[in-house]
Amino acid sequence: MANKFLQYFALTIAVIGAVNWGLIGFFNFNLVAFLFGSMSWLSRIVYGLVGLCGLYLLTFYTLIDQEQVSE
């Protein structure tokens, strides 16, 4: 738990990505494209950050395993 900022940042970006996917799935509305333009350089950065944060959050599974072992 050394870098709480990175954990909160990754979780926040992943939640934003999840909300965006929910809006796309339910209402066919892409919030990122609406705010930043369809595949503009800024929207590509947002999509890239969501992907990287999702990959980083995969490491949280090891934290879950460690908590179960310590109980």
4-27 and 41-57 are packed helices; what angle lies between their axes, rounded to 10 degrees?
120
Q: pLDDT band for position 61 (50/70/90)?
A: confident
User: How far is it, in rounded angstroms, from Cα 66 to Cα 19?
Assistant: 29
Which pair of tokens denotes residue 69? 């072992």
| Percent with pLDDT over 70 in the chain | 90
Mean pLDDT in residue range 42-67: 90
